[in-house]
Structure 1
Amino acid sequence: MNLSDLGKDVLHVSFNQENTCLAVATETGFFVCDVNPLKLRFIRNFDEGIGIIEMLFRCNILALVGGGRRPKYPLNCVMLWDDHQEKKIAELEFRTDVKAVKMRKDCIIVALENKVYMYNFEDLRLLRQFDTCNATLGVVSMSLSHPVVLAIPSTTPGHVLIEKRNFAIMDSDRSEPTIIPVTQSPISQLELNQLGVKLAVTSMKGTVVRVIDLMTNTEERFRRGTTPAIIQCLAFSLDSSMLACTSNRGTVHIFQLDVEYKQNLALGSILKITGGDEKRAVIHFQIPEDNSICAFVPKGPEDDQSEDSKILVVLGGSGGYYKFKVFNENRKWKALELNKGSKLSYFDVS
């Protein structure tokens, strides 16, 4: 979540790949917290700004980009930071400002406004580069699966480019990217599930969320509302049975997904998407935030351990930390705010 336009000391907030940690970039450095329960892990003070931060699971390597009023690093450079040594260990430089960074243990993805680059993690060798449409928010998603699946907006508005890469084979043996026509409007957000078999997409209008099954070439459509809104985050549950989204209107919607997977190789040609009736959210509620991200997180020791319940954490641009138990009671889905009235803030832990 980019907060640089809000005039706050916090510039960027992100979850790690497993949704167990929260990284916060500020005007003076950064800090990292455990998500559930909320607890500070460490803080680094540079007296200069970090505009983008990305963790690599829970290890000591982070990706940092400068930002704020006094950037520590140039806005067109990605710095790989080793927190054990508390120093920069590598650098990637570009011609234009960096909009987003994603990492796995085998590759790094860097998104610019009109380009996306894929690097080998071990030696920072450039593997692929893709043209993309004017994406000022750096919209990009990458699976945790093997082979890796990468999703970015293509050069045609409303279309998504899917790259599937197996690092165990030679570059000459890789398949060409797949282009999926999804919507008529430019794409505002997209998100892959951890296995890289489901893709959630929203357009700039923000009234409909589309979930594409990349294994069966089918699409589920979900109605968020009729009033246009900016979708700020899409988040799959850990078992991919649910999808949550937040908007600039302070709304949080949770949709129930079809979880039946059929083995059918769909990556390699243009996907034919079949539409259906639009489904409604099984849960929707309001939070006092106009800028937020969310994630389904692993349960903590004090949480309900039953299999049919989930934990959703929503982080607001104001610093708000909202934790919800999502569960089914008498065949009706509900969301119970677990920290209601406590006014938790991830600002306070630092």
Structure 2
Amino acid sequence: MANQSSSYPILCASFNQDNSCFVIGTRDGFQIFDSNTGKLLYERAVGAFIIVEMLFSTSLLAIVGAGEQPSLSPRRLALFNTTTGTALRELNFLTSVVAVRLNRKRLVVVLQDRTYIYDVNTVGILDTIDTVPNPKGICAFSPSSDGCFLALPASTTKGTVLVYNVMELHSHCEIDAHRSPLAAIVLSSNGMFIATASEHGTIIRVHLVSDASKSYSFRRGTYSSTIFSLSFGPSLQLPDILAASSSSGSVHVFSPGIAVNQRSKRSNSFLGAVLPDSVNDVLDPAHHIVLHDATPAGVKSYAVIRKVDKDPKTSASEFTACRAIISIITFNGYFQEYNLSINEQNEASWSLEREFNLLMVKSMP
């Protein structure tokens, strides 16, 4: 997640594909941390970076400078080896790079109006996608080699999503998710589900990627709020929970796993047959848990669900009790980690397990 404002000490932040590590970019350089311990694993102080993306827990990084130093142009992407401290390959573009995603097979480079797909091993270009203007670099990527999809905005006036198969190199579908332009999108790790939020930030929608059908709609709130991040739980089937961080300072958690198919339940009811989707969104059961004032209001934040443990004793007829670990990076420089416990009655409790200043962590001697 890149930061479009220069007022924060953190310019970008991202977790690797399995959330075992995370990296932050600042005006001084970038730092890699262990998610479980908070230990600083690697740092390089050579200037400002606007994009730093890891490839799982390997030594390969994709890095893009913030343009504050002549050698760190925002139009240049470097594939960097942390073991040798050298760039393995550099790619230069005519305009600024606004987002980068990668897995073991593919490298995706997003520009404001074009997206490039590369073979990550040879760095040979495989395809080019012309896109609508996307200056904020809104995109989502499922890192699995099976069901590996890329999602990009398909309109500047409404919330339409282009879903592209990066392994087979063809457009998979378009999803009309919202009436307003997109603010945030995320794909589940296996590419089965996609969650979206518009610039209004009041409704979070979840679609099944295979047939572009809407599975769930969740109301985050009544008043508009900027959605900074969306994160699915790591389940390989139906995601148990979905988290959203926003400019309100709260973290919202929704429970897709509480019902098999809300849409079919609505359509089988009299009201569901006659009311439009926009009204059905309001009538949907909340399945909604809120951690108020998790971050300072207005400060950009990035929240991920790192782990979910289910209670094996829960019967099939009950809501599955679970415990989740939710990690939050705030762009004013802090890392927070919460334990969320949800019982069989869908009652929740939060506990703050860790909090520390990322900018004060020193490397081990």
Residue 342 of structure 2 corresponds to residue 347 of structure 1: no
Cα-to-partner distance string for 1:313-350 (whole Å, 9 max, x where unaligned): 1111122222111112351332422337xx41222224
User: What SS does the corresponding residue of 1:339 show, helix, strand or coil?
Assistant: strand
TM-score using structure 2 length: 0.83
**Paired position in structure 2 for 1:252:** 251
C-alpha separation in 1, matches of 2:111 and 2:214: 30
Give the superposition deviation at 1:64. Answer: 0.6
Change (3 A) 1:63 1:71: farther
CA gap of 1:77–1:69, structure 2 versus 1, over 3 A, is closer
Structure 1, unaligned runs of 5 or more: 168-173, 263-273
* CA shift digits 1:14-48 (9 cap, x unpaired): 111111111011112111001122111111121x2
What CA distance in whole angstroms lies between the structure 2 residues aligned with 1:159 and 1:198?
15
Aligned-pair identity in percent equals 26
Relative to structure 1, the CA distance from residue 317 to residue 279 in structure 2 (aligned partners, 3 Å threshold; closer, same or farther) is: farther
Q: Which amino acid aligns with 1:278?
A: D
CA distance in 1, matches of 2:137, 2:194: 17
Give per-residue Cα distances to partners, 1:282-312, cap 9 Å, x unaligned. 211222332100111148xxxx896621101
SS at match of 1:309: strand
SS in 1 for 2:68: coil
Whether 1:293 aligns to 2:302 is yes
Structure 2 unmatched runs, 5+: 262-275, 313-321
Query: Kindly tell me: are residues 63 and 175 of structure 1, through their superposed partners in 2, closer, same or farther at Cα, counting changes over 3 Å?
Result: closer
- Check whether the contact 2:163–2:171 (CA below 8 A) recurs between aligned residues: no
TM-score calculated relative to the size of structure 1: 0.86
Q: Is the 8 A contact 1:12 1:52 kept in 2?
A: yes
Q: Closer, same or farther in 2 for the Cα pair 1:218/1:298, shift >3 Å?
A: closer
Residue 259 of structure 1: CA displacement?
Answer: 7.6
Alignment correspondent of 1:271: none
The answer to whether structure 1 residue 315 and structure 2 residue 329 are counterparts is yes
Aligned residue identity for 1:348 = M
Q: Name the residue aligned to 1:37.
A: 37
In the aligned structure 1, how far is the partner of 2:223 from the partner of 2:19?
30
**2:159 pairs with 1:158:** yes
Instruction: Quote the residue 1:270 is aligned against.
Output: none
1:224 pairs, out of 214, 220, 227, with 220
Residue 12 and residue 71 in structure 1: after superposition, are their counterparts in 2 closer, same or farther (change >3 A)? Answer: farther
What is the CA-CA distance between 1:124 and the residue it aligns to?
1.4
For residues 48 and 133 of structure 2, what CA distance do their matches in structure 1 show?
26
Structure 1 pair 24/71, CA: closer, same or farther in 2 (3 Å)? farther
Secondary structure at the aligned position of 2:5 is classed as: helix
Partner amino acid, structure 2, of 1:16: N
2:73 counterpart of 1:66: no
Partner of 2:2: 2
Greater mean deviation of Cα atoms: 112-121 or 323-332:
323-332
The change in CA–CA distance for 1:8 and 1:205 in structure 2 (over 3 A counts) is: closer
Residue of structure 2 in register with 1:268 after alignment: none
For residues 146-295 of structure 1, what are the structure 2 equivalents within 5 Å? 146-155=146-155, 157-166=158-167, 175-215=170-210, 217-239=213-235, 240-258=239-257, 275=277, 276=280, 277-285=283-291, 286-289=293-296, 290-295=299-304
Q: Which residue of 2 aligns with 1:269?
A: none
Q: Secondary structure at the match of 1:313?
A: strand
Q: Name the counterpart of 1:90.
A: 89
Counterparts of 2:90 and 2:306, CA distance in 1: 31
- Please state whether the residue corresponding to 1:315 is helix, strand or coil: strand
Give RMSD over aligned pairs: 2.3
Q: Does the 8 A contact of 2:258 with 2:287 survive in 1?
A: no
Contact 1:224 1:281 in 2 (8 A): no
**Counterpart residue type for residue 241 of structure 1:** D
Match of 1:56 in 2: 55
Kept in 2, the 8 Å contact 1:36–1:297? The answer is no
Amino acid at match of 2:2: N
Q: Is the 8 A contact 1:49 1:72 kept in 2?
A: no
Q: Normalized per residue, which structure has more helix? A: 2
Letter in 1 for 2:222: T
Give the deviation of 1:281 after TM superposition.
4.8
